[in-house]
Structure 1
């Protein structure tokens, strides 16, 4: 797929528009512009090259934009509007440039005879396995509008959980960054100056409090070549650790450790269980097979330990075991999940039962996040205050002593 620069006028010819459009060739670019209600004046393929604009621009589709697209497509298809016309209208009126580019490509593929699910599957960064499989099931069963509506609900719930988790971590993270910056700022610029003042007044052989000696010694170390090497090594170590965590082995170790951390493990487990129940119910309700549902759901959990557990359960279910029994023996899931799943298996309403489980754990996530925030925030404030107090004591002690000597 190439990028084309275009100059076009509005349908009434009163307004001239310039921009770019993604298309397979010039003909497809012209068709895409016509679907937007524009009259092309010129279309030329853009030359590829480095630009700061492309470097800074975010080319990913926001979750809110994807939810709006899914809901609108569901409404239009449900109202009897043909699929291609629906996609064309949404592409034309979308305010998201990344989504508009993807829809241009999707429309081209669907026009070429490709199923919608297959066209969406070519854009995995935007449309997940869950999304694609549910759309495929909806197309097969002829209930695409209903499936898209379920997808929109699921996306909204998942986005809500992500926002709450990020929101809960934002304030403590900001406090931590401010504390670190303030500490090193004092060590690099303030403490050395105060140390020089104290030594110039009291003399180089003056007896200073232990805490002051420690602060001055640490400040001198940071400013020394060895100190800079130590800081560089620490930064390099953090970068190496973050890169290692992205490897399959590192990610598994990290996810295992996270599930053992006090307080945090409770929140993580509830988020995963809510995601499992919501995704599984959506796929199951769409008519996707149990094996495919388990496989796709495992990749949507966001934790390697749970992902491997559910993938291992696939073989057991293939051999005739009930999923509720397998999850009960696994020990990763709360008892209520296997119990409710067992009820769903007996009544044939697994999707309905798991929706209730998802709703319950989504509320539990809210409670757990609020509880965690109420613990983390005061702790961070105490830590920040302690560091500032320690530095203040190391500085004010000698100054007070010198003041008494002068008097």
Structure 2
């Protein structure tokens, strides 16, 4: 029996309702409904624990529905219960909600059902989804503090330009003080922002919206992904994150007995980079044509040699899933180390930049004040 994870995302208890007699059938949620990955991870661990304990599948889903803290997740799970009660398999019932249970998730459930190893697949799924959740949290955590510092610096600068500086300028003008170039430049910037914000704001928002729309086009998305991979510092991190996803997905699916070509299709869709997805698709076509996986991966330009070497060893020893998991663990640790180091370096750097920006504005204010003090003396 697999123990429940104490460090898995928190769940709040809810009264059991799903599947109870006398309870009206809930309205089925829309197939496009989204559920937070944290709630999917928590439900996956609970499902794994219950299945490993020998609880019948239908009862497992009912318990998960009654215990999840997410109203949307509970609604989806109750709908899955109704499907299973009607004779559908768990994988086919879950596949009706692709934004909650993606193709990889339902394929592993199906592999577990077919091979009579649903408990093993549920455990692998729980680990897989939890790792995805942890990685997303690490990325957000690494970006949160620098973003806060940038917004703070922009807010402080805007306040000084729009509110503080104009009031002081009136005083300087009345006293006939000669303003230095730095102060005059900031005065002009503040006056420009105050007088033209009504059209500056729509232009900025419109440009941002156009950028988002362009990024969603195939050409725009591919160009941005290529740019990410080519940027010094950022490119290697993006590549390692994608390789960790690729190797982990391949490992879990291969351990579950999913056919190699299907495994490559799913791995192609989870790497999160169009350029790497294209290379994995080329690998899939090469394998389909008769080449070994190791040879096909070796020919890919943006896939590191370590990946192809470990895959070749896995093919030769018959332990492909284990070798891929080792690759995944290696890149996960590399990414975690880089993010921690980058966070430690970015914090003082952003504080220094923030101090320079605010100091520049403060200088524009205090230089005329110092001149006035000298004149008075």
Superposition TM-score, scaled by structure 2 size: 0.90
- The aligned runs of 1:107-126 (5 Å cut-off) are 107-126=81-100
Match of 1:220 in 2: 191
Match of 2:312 in 1: 342
- SS of the residue 1:73 aligns to: helix
Instruction: Work out the CA distance in 2 between the residues paired with 1:281 and 1:172.
Output: 34
Structure 2 alignment gaps of length 5 or more: 1-15, 28-32
CA 1:34–1:187: 2 relative to 1, 3 Å: closer
Displacement of 1:254 after TM fit? 1.6
Pairing 1:98–2:34 present:
no
Match of 1:190 in 2: 164
Q: Which of 224, 238, 250 pairs up with 2:220?
A: 250
The higher radius of gyration belongs to 1
Match of 1:129 in 2: 103
Pairing 1:77–2:51 present:
yes
Instruction: Work out the CA distance in 2 between the residues paired with 1:136 and 1:236.
Output: 45
Q: Which of 341, 352, 377 pairs up with 2:322?
A: 352
Pairing 1:200–2:174 present:
yes
CA contact (8 A) 1:35 1:92 kept: no
- Structure 1 window deviating more from structure 2 (161-170 vs 110-119): it is 110-119
Instruction: Work out the CA distance in 2 between the residues paired with 1:78 and 1:372.
Output: 40
- The aligned runs of 1:145-294 (5 Å cut-off) are 145-202=119-176, 206-225=177-196, 228-294=198-264
CA contact (8 A) 1:33 1:39 kept: no
Pairing 1:296–2:259 present:
no
Q: Which has the higher contact order (CA 8 A, sep 6+)?
A: 2
Instruction: Work out the CA distance in 2 between the residues paired with 1:214 and 1:64.
Output: 49
- SS of the residue 1:113 aligns to: coil
CA contact (8 A) 1:222 1:228 kept: no
Instruction: Work out the CA distance in 2 between the residues paired with 1:230 and 1:61.
Output: 36
Instruction: Work out the CA distance in 2 between the residues paired with 1:131 and 1:222.
Output: 51
Pairing 1:35–2:6 present:
no
Displacement of 1:98 after TM fit? 1.3
CA contact (8 A) 1:130 1:300 kept: no
Residues 333-377 of structure 1: CA distance to partner in whole angstroms, max 9, x if unpaired? 221111001000111111011111111111111111112212322
Instruction: Work out the CA distance in 2 between the residues paired with 1:285 and 1:370.
Output: 31
CA contact (8 A) 2:226 2:275 kept: yes
Residues 288-334 of structure 1: CA distance to partner in whole angstroms, max 9, x if unpaired? 00000000111111111111211122111101112222222212122
Instruction: Work out the CA distance in 1 between the residues paired with 2:201 and 2:166.
Output: 18
Q: Which of 310, 313, 320 pairs up with 2:283?
A: 313
- SS of the residue 2:345 aligns to: helix
Q: CA RMSD in A?
A: 2.1
CA 1:87–1:34: 2 relative to 1, 3 Å: closer
Displacement of 1:184 after TM fit? 1.4
- SS of the residue 2:175 aligns to: helix
Which of the two has greater strand per residue?
Answer: 1
Instruction: Work out the CA distance in 2 between the residues paired with 1:93 and 1:159.
Output: 20
Structure 1 alignment gaps of length 5 or more: 1-31, 47-58
Residues 89-123 of structure 1: CA distance to partner in whole angstroms, max 9, x if unpaired? 22233332211100111111112221211111111
Superposition TM-score, scaled by structure 1 size: 0.83
- SS of the residue 1:77 aligns to: helix
CA contact (8 A) 1:263 1:372 kept: no
- Structure 1 window deviating more from structure 2 (286-295 vs 115-124): it is 115-124
CA contact (8 A) 2:26 2:75 kept: no
Instruction: Work out the CA distance in 2 between the residues paired with 1:87 and 1:310.
Output: 35
